Amino acid sequence: MNIIAAVDNNWAIGFQNSLLVRIPRDQKVFREMTEGKVIVIGRKTLETFPQKQPLKNRVNIILSRDRNFAVKDAVVVHSMKELMEELKKYDEKEVYAAGGASVYEQLLPYCDTAYITKVDYTYQADAYFPRLDKMEDWKLTEDSEEQTYFDLEYYFQKYERKK
């Protein structure tokens, strides 16, 4: 399974249920990588999407503890056990954990590749991604040239779990 996120210098991913920054090229890369694939997100992450709707051209699996929560054009699961059962239907290379913090934390043990957009800035934040750069079982295997969006610098990075 894959995991995909944009993080700041402190591996922060959000503040008050919003992304820290929206970088058009990062959003384009996210779309290109996940279209035609499966994304696993939490309910709060869904609420940050346009019109709070599932993303088009993907299988959207939403993890929510709320047993009454239902969304058109998405699969809703209510536990990790239910999620793992649902994911058996798909090739694990086609599955992307896409946020938020609790989904990342729960699914990281099942992931072997992480696609990280590292933004060279420190934001006020209340949601964080696990610090792969401090974990012995993960290594940085790809790091792009510096990218810029106005005065913001960022990098596309790939981490892989050590075998």
Tens of pLDDT, residue by residue over 78-115, are 999 999 999 999 999 999 999 999 999 999 999 999 99
Give the structural domain span for 59. 2-161
Would you state the structure tokens that stand for residue 117, as one six-digit string? 């957009």
**Which pLDDT belongs to residue 159?**
98
Return the CATH number at 30: 3.40.430.10
Alpha carbons 90 and 92: distance in angstroms, whole number:
6
In this structure, the number of other CB atoms found within 10 A of the CB of residue 62 comes to 22
Using one digit for the tens of pLDDT, what is the confidence trace for 49-64?
989 999 999 999 999 9
For residue 116, pLDDT over 90 is answered with: yes
Q: pLDDT tens digits, residue range 131-153?
A: 999 999 999 999 999 999 999 99
- In the predicted model, what is the mean pLDDT of residues 39-49? 95
Query: Is residue 163's pLDDT more than 90?
Result: no
pLDDT at 58: 98
- Work out how many domains the chain is built from and give that number: 1
Average pLDDT, the chain: 97
Give ∠ CA 17-145-97 in degrees, rounded to 5. 35
